[in-house]
Structure 1
Amino acid sequence: MSERAPVPPSDRRTFVSKVAAVVIGGLVTVAAPIAGLFPILDPLRRRGETRGMVRVTSFASLPESGEPRKFPVLDTLVDAWNRTENVPVGSVYVQRTGENSVRVLNSVCPHLGCSVGYNAAGHGYFCPCHKSSFTVDGAIADPKSPSPRGMDPLDAVVKDGEVWVKFQNFRKGSPERIAV
């Protein structure tokens, strides 16, 4: 009978490298799918966010006479995975009504959505599309106006010398103010 050659004992380094490979492989196998879930679930996480107040102008830029001024509303839009800063979402008329108070009206006509202009000589607003006219406070000026309601007022606050507005649009052609 022939004698077998002795089997060398397992090398400790080989054992440690095999265990390290299994641990690292397991971590990568588990971590990659979990990391992949974050971008997929991100829109669901943000679904409950609501739009708040938007800075429109400084209070000092409003005339003390109370004449309304038109300002664009720039907001941050979040669409699924995209976030876009300073996007024009509409415009408003801002009027100084007191020492630290303002009246803000959406510049869109409640009849069919045309842009309303301010007529300084007539001290009121006028829609060029269907001849609707409104008083300075946004009420319907002419009873024969096709607009079903006055101009839409918006919530606003003056904070630290700046005018902040909760901008929103409303359903056109309806006598009730229904936010869209």
Structure 2
Amino acid sequence: MSENQQAPNRRNFVTKAAAIVVGGLISVVAPVAGVLTFLDPLRRKSDTRGMVRIAPFSSLPENGEPRKFPVLDTLVDAWNKTENVPIGSVYVQRTGDDTVRVLNSVCPHLGCSVGYRAATQGYFCPCHKSAFAISGAIADPKSPSPRGMDELTAEVRNGEIWVKFQNFRKGSPDKIPV
């Protein structure tokens, strides 16, 4: 009878050992996968914004009058990725056959939205009456703005306007990125 009892015990041992190994793997793999998923945003590299497509070059008038365009970009926030999110706006002016001047549409004084006036061929901030030339320079010496409008790095690639969009500290005479 002892031989018959040993055979089932051996079978039970292999079954129990396999169950312990599989159970141990499951109890280790699942929490590790959960922790890695939870910590994933911390492992990613920080978002360094590059060039953003603005509009086709052909959408600019040939007479050099600036046009205002929204800046749309993809935002990544922890686990979420949202495309075509408005992050600002710019004025784009044709300055040559394939060159442009791009100005941030925010006033460097307090951050109000600047408008373009075709009649005076310049920009005007309605909040504190800052006036800017078409180049973005301060047009009125009594202007409360500490500096001219912020010019952004831009290039024309394959008939499209690309801009390195960024905002700068308001109220400072220096152009300090934020």
**Do both share a fold (TM > 0.5)?**
yes
Percent of aligned positions that are identical: 72
Q: 1:19 to 1:108 in 2, by over 3 A?
A: same
1:6 positional shift: 2.8
Q: Which residue of 2 aligns with 1:36?
A: 34
1:100 aligns with 2:98: yes
Normalization by structure 2: what TM-score? 0.91
Q: Which residue of 2 aligns with 1:48?
A: 46
Q: Unaligned 5+ residue runs, structure 1?
A: none
Q: Larger helix proportion, structure 1 or 2?
A: 2
RMSD: 1.6
Map 1:22-171 → 2, pairs under 5 A: 22-171=20-169
1:105 positional shift: 0.4
Residue correspondences, number: 176
Distance (Å, rounded) in 2 between the aligned partners of 1:169 and 1:133: 19
Q: Which residue of 1 aligns with 2:2?
A: 6
Runs of 4+ residues over 4 Å off in structure 1: none
Query: What are the Cα deviations for residues 114-148 of structure 1, in whole angstroms up to 9, with x where unaligned?
Result: 10000111111111111111111100011111110
Normalization by structure 1: what TM-score? 0.90
Distance (Å, rounded) in 2 between the aligned partners of 1:24 and 1:88: 50
Distance (Å, rounded) in 2 between the aligned partners of 1:97 and 1:37: 53
Local SS of the residue matching 1:10? helix
